[in-house]
Amino acid sequence: MAAPTKVPIPALLDLTIDNITPNTVKINSQSGDRRMTYLMERLVTHIHDFARETRISTEEWMAALNFLVQCGQISSDVRHEFILLSDVLGLSLLVDSINHPKPPNTTEGSVLGPFHTHDAPTLEHGADMSSDPQGEPLLCICTVKDANGKPVEGAKIDIWETDSSGHYDVQHSDRNEPTERCIMTSDANGDFWFKCILPVSYPIPHDGPVGKLLEKLNRHPWRPAHLHFMFEKKGWDHLITALYMRGDPYETSDAVFGVKKSLIVEPQKIDGATAKEYGVPEGSWVLKHDFVLTTEKETADLRDRLAHEALEKQGLDLKLVDHLPVPDLD
């Protein structure tokens, strides 16, 4: 165990509603890890204030703790209740927005959600990532470029969606292999194209504690129809995003707050020439979309600038170390 640092710890006796917070913060401040100290200080301060402001009852606090236990109990390799919880609280979107700010005219991020897996097959351009004959065929013709319109070659793109019943493959207990998901790589022109099915709206899993919470709040569990995308390439900011189908009934009430105007798209009926060129049946849907990536450096600079502005507004004596705020003790 690490030796305690020289933070003077008062005798922790006779703590009260008013003095328990500074004393808890002090005893948590011995690690010498400034970031950890800062995170714990803010967590304890906010959670103690929450208790004081709400005059929370013992029963309510126990219900909250039991709720967290239930979130753990229902979670598994393919069920991530805590991601869902973070999603429905708006926290996932918030954390992504803080960490991956986007300059204007670049592709905005959206929520990862709980259904990304690491076993998607790598497919060639033009391949069909869906094996669902009930779905309406959709051809996606996409590019990956930088903010100046230069193609980004060799980006790894993870793509995933539900089947036509609104379920991801991992939600089927008889899942033998990944379906409705794939990995592609952008070519020298920054292009990639694939076949899939027209996404449908679906409810997030709501048979567990998070679903019960939504019900209590009189909230629906639906997400508007979307396709998930994740872009990875060394030197470029990791982009997790999604494209949302225009006109979906849940477009403005997404249960997990993922929709952004710039991510709403409108598939069209394919014309004969394009259908022939890409070898898809006439009557298919087609979606053309250009994704714009930012470099890691651009994102880091923007994140730092926004962090400085936010810290200044809070009037706290902080500085950035490794791009993260810590108390300025120097």
Nearer to Fe ion by Cβ, of 204 and 286: the residue is: 204
Calculate the alpha carbon distances from 175 to 78, 144, 170, 181, 264 in Å.
11, 32, 6, 13, 30
CB of 65 to Fe ion, least distance (A): 29
Nearer to Fe ion by Cβ, of 101 and 114: the residue is: 114
The DSSP code for 122 is B
Q: Which residue is nearest to Fe ion (CB)?
A: 113
Close Cβ partners of 89 (under 8 Å, ≥ 6 residues apart): none
CB of 132 to Fe ion, least distance (A): 15
CB of 217 to Fe ion, least distance (A): 21
Nearer to Fe ion by Cβ, of 156 and 167: the residue is: 167
Calculate the alpha carbon distances from 215 to 35, 87, 203, 251, 302 in Å.
37, 15, 13, 20, 39
CB of 242 to Fe ion, least distance (A): 7
User: Minimal CA–CA distance to 131: which of 120, 142, 116?
Assistant: 120
Nearer to Fe ion by Cβ, of 113 and 208: the residue is: 113
Nearer to Fe ion by Cβ, of 10 and 249: the residue is: 249
Q: In angstroms, how far is CA 305 from the centroid of its own chain? A: 22
Rounded Cα distance, 190 and 84, in Å: 33
Nearer to Fe ion by Cβ, of 102 and 226: the residue is: 226
Binding stretches for Fe ion (CB under 5 A): 113
- Nearest 5°: CA angle at 46, between 44 and 50? 115
CB of 110 to Fe ion, least distance (A): 9
Angle between helices 58-74 and 81-88 (to 10 degrees): 130
CB of 175 to Fe ion, least distance (A): 16
Rounded Cα distance, 279 and 157, in Å: 22
